[in-house]
Chain A
Amino acid sequence: MSLHVEILIAKHFKKSVFKNKAVFIITLFIGLLLLYAAFSGWENYTNQNETSEKYQHESREDWLKNPDKNPHRMAHYGNFAFRKSTPLSVFEFGMEPFFGNAIFLEAHKQNTANFSEAGFSNSMLRFGEVSIAMVLQILLPLLIFFLGFNAIATERENGTLKLLLSQGISWKQLLLGKTLGIAAVILLLFIPTIIILVVLWLVLQNFSISADETIKMGLFILFHFIYLMFFCFIAVLISAASKTSKNALISLIGIWLLFTIILPRTTQAIGAYLYEAPSKIQFQSDIEKDILKQGDSHNPNDPHYKAIKDSLLLVYKVDSVQKLPFNYSGFIMTEGEKISANIYNKHLETLLKVYEQQNSFSKAVSFFNPYIAMKNLSMGLSNTDYDSYIDFQKQAETYRYDMAQKMNALQIKYISNKKPGPNDKPLTIDKEHWAEVDEFQYQPKGIVAVLKSEMISIISIILWISFLFVLIRIAAKNLKAI
């Protein structure tokens, strides 16, 4: 199959586009915006990671510098989980501004992830952010529509469409040619962007890239390319189906507004409205109530802890906990930590289920809206999506739990069961033990996990592409010259 005719049409279209001064200005401007987006993404990323690394390191040093002390005091001294970004987040900020950047990890207590960018900003942030992904996903489709609305409609208005078709050019060739023409213009922006992107991405990682990151980057580029080509086709199809170029323009603008502005917000709002999530105070008081039901270690007469005590006394054949051969309060705290962590996790699962129900609407709508599919996928690839954040919090909680139980174990093992008198020095263990707790390391989700959680988006994009091919076939058969 030779694409000679199509290429001719495309070349002609491209030439006519650049005769228009406004196109030059808009393209130039979007180019500048892309540069700015790359720059600010870079700033963001380096700031975020430098600060986060600095304080992760500093707080680790602080932890290790602690002198000999009671391990339970170390459990309260605690550790921090600071969130780090992945290289792709330079291009796709995703939900990052709304993520808390630091979690304080201590015994008995699951703290919130604090210090999100959004909490430190006024409403400006809520208008959105300028990132490369935003330009690629929102602005370029609009530019495509601005370039393409008159691709065929104007030929119809001028009467040149009849001439073209009567010269033996088929509808299919015409549609394909015009699409290639728009694509050629868009690629003038897309290809340099990708080159800058890849260079930036390589520099950020000092040219030592992992296979995982490379696949993510490759998919990021590939899917954005498909996404943009999709809009080129839509523009030409709508232009071909419209009586006048004005109608084509208005329809395309409507589609764009619906896809990128109206649908994303409304679908998420519907989810949030239908499935109401508890607020923090509700969540925490529910957990506290459940813990009290299970057993309250602060209550001296609590039946759960009394049963534990009685069975211990029985097994070790002693008459008071002071005579037990190990540290009793360490044992009780181990039990308390287990109970409270279990209950917390159960409530968290319920909460996350509510969140997932809220999100299910916009996930389902990705079948009707390629923008949401693309957005979700690119956030997944850059680890700035919902799942990644939950993953970060879960990793932090696992670390917290292990740390607290490690300290309890040290207490059981090394701290005498005899309470010191009011004037005795506190019981301590050697500071060497502090290094037995590893530093917190956040591991971003790998490509397999990302693809799994974004399967819907990928299926949706594939369905959209197949739908498009069907549409082109139908259009080629049914379109009229007048």
Chain B
Amino acid sequence: MLALLFKNFIRSKGTKVGLIFLLIIGFISLLIGQQFQQKQQNNIVEAATYQKEHIARNASYHKDDLGLLLYYIKFSLVNKTLPINSLAIGQRDVNPSIQNVTIRGLEGQKYDAELNNPNNLLSGNIDFSFVLIYLFPLLIVAFSYNLVSEEKESGTWKIVATQSENTFVYILKLFYIRILSLIVLLTVVLLVAVLFLAIPFDTALLTFYLLGVLYILFWFAVSFFIVSLQKNSNFNAVILLTIWLFLIIIVPATINTYVVNKYPVPEALELTVKQRNAYHEKWDMEKKITMDKFYNHYPQFKTYLLPDKEFSWLWYYAMQQAGDDDSAKESQELETKLQQRNTASQFIAQFIPTLHTQIQLNEIAKADLGNQLLFLKETKQFHENLRLYFYPKIFDNKAVNEENWSKFKVETFTDPSETNLVKTLLPLIFFNLLLLALGWINFKNNKLQTF
């Protein structure tokens, strides 16, 4: 029986076209992922060679002035890109994965944007997460909107009802073969991805896969529920597409507007205006004010006294430091707001399976806002370490060639956050069970057997 149903399903032209289309676009998404991966890797190589040449060149120009040399040279920190990131590019196209900083004020450098074609950002990537979240549901809807209803409309349902012992089991079987075919498709694409993109078999990949399976099941559960209402095919098609439209565009967009308006970030512009002034005004102030601030922040440098000259690097870097210190409040507020945005959207997303899946996939791929915030934090730490290392050397007027400049390699930040399986999978499991139960109740109430 099951074999026959499967044959009937796969023989239909629409089915074949749909499955092949999805398979092809799945593979295209892997190509796009591969290009993304390569670009990220090239950037890291480029950053490493650039840093090496750049430091060496400047060190040869400014042999006798360490303070001036450090005014110029930049150090890079890379936000590690996992291979699985190619499946869910997330926010990694908007945000730069490499930070380049000098030891001068950080606030003026930290938020430097990546170069981008806004057109690409607007239309979005065709990464695998797009295929999974947008296109799989469309195929699921196309496969199941006319189950039962079509047979009723063509009059064959009565034959089915009289010939099979339990029509409910028959319906389950119809769903079963469809679910199986799409899960096989998901598995095939992901297996190819593993080989093609060198994704390691680890918990991240397993979570990604489980999330994908649950997401597919979610859409089948939605279809199952709609089919259980036993309306005609047209009604089912309209209602399923409307649900898709809601969950894919309208609800996420509405929630986004809500979150953005609830946590506006004027701090960003305030911060950038403030840090400029905070540093520059120190040029025209008593040096003592700046130095007191500096000694307050770094008591360990109190022993370095201001030389009796109009300009000294100690004073200069103390002014730069003041730019950061005086705008620390705004910087902290901005970080808090962004954290709030992230937490709020993650919380709301639990109730919207599409949104939840996208956010979780990005989180697994370390490509969400949370990762970006951690990277910014790490940038601050990285910058602070550079300062603490170089400040005493500059203040001591150490010679440039005393330093082994080649040891300053590009550093890498690895996001340590781990995905919580329960938090990731539970919302989808809950919705799946709920819809299944509701659908089952509908079928029972409608007394299917009487048809």
Chain A interface residues toward B at CB < 8 A: 22, 26, 33, 36, 40, 43-44, 47, 51-52, 54-55, 58-59, 62, 66-67, 69, 73, 76-78, 80, 82, 94-95, 98-102, 104, 111-130, 134, 138-139, 142, 146, 149-150, 245-246, 249-250, 253, 257, 261, 264-266, 268-269, 271-273, 276-283, 285, 288, 298-300, 351, 355, 358-359, 362, 386, 389, 420, 422-426
Contacts and interface: CB of A to CB of B under 8 A. Distances in A.
A351 B94 CA distance: 17
Contact of A120 (B32, B98, B116, B338): B338
Contact of B310 (A52, A150, A420): A420
Nearest to B261: A43
Contact of A69 (B120, B284, B341): B284
Contact of A142 (B108, B245, B257, B346): B245
B113 A47 contact: no
Interface in B94-144: 94-96, 98, 100, 108, 111-126, 130, 134, 138
Contact of A355 (B117, B238, B249): B117
A269 B126 contact: yes
A129 B257 CA distance: 8
A358 B120 contact: yes
Given A125-B256, A355-B117, 7 more contacts: A73-B280, A101-B269, A114-B111, A119-B95, A123-B91, A123-B358, A268-B122
Contacts of A283: 115
A43 B264 CA distance: 11
Nearest to B239: A22
A84 to B, nearest CB: 12
B266 A51 contact: yes
Given A115-B272, A269-B32, A123 B126 contact: no
Given A104-B276, A279-B43, A423-B310, A122 B91 contact: yes
Nearest to B334: A120
Interface residues of B, number: 94
B265 A273 contact: no
Given A80-B273, A111-B112, A269-B123, A281 B256 contact: no
Contact of A78 (B39, B42, B114, B276): B276
A276 B35 contact: yes
Interface in B415-431: none
Nearest to B58: A298
A356 to B, nearest CB: 9
A404 B309 CA distance: 28
Interface in B307-327: 308-311
A246 B265 contact: no
B273 A277 contact: no
Contacts of A279: 39, 42-43, 46, 114-115
Contact of A277 (B117, B257, B362): B117
Contact of B249 (A82, A127, A389): A127
Interface string B14-52: 000000000000000001100100010011001100100
B50 A95 contact: no
A253 B112 contact: no
Contact of A130 (B114, B238, B241, B254): B254
A418 to B, nearest CB: 15
28 contacts: A40-B257, A40-B261, A66-B280, A67-B284, A95-B119, A98-B122, A102-B268, A112-B112, A112-B115, A116-B113, A120-B369, A122-B359, A123-B90, A123-B359, A123-B369, A127-B354, A138-B249, A246-B153, A249-B234, A268-B119, A272-B117, A272-B120, A279-B39, A281-B47, A362-B119, A362-B123, A424-B310, A425-B310
Contacts, number: 247
A336 to B, nearest CB: 14
Nearest to B116: A98
Q: Main SS of chain B's interface residues?
A: helix
Contacts of A276: 35, 39
A250 B94 contact: no
B147 to A, nearest CB: 14
A277 B310 CA distance: 47
B248 interface: yes
> Which of B91, B125, B359 has most A Cβ within 10 Å?
B91
Given A249-B238, A276-B39, A426 B310 contact: yes
B255 A423 contact: no
A73 B283 CA distance: 9
B161 interface: no
A130 B94 CA distance: 20
B385 interface: no
B250 interface: yes
Contacts of B62: 298
B185 interface: no
Contact of B123 (A47, A268, A298): A268
A128 B233 contact: no
Contacts of A245: 234
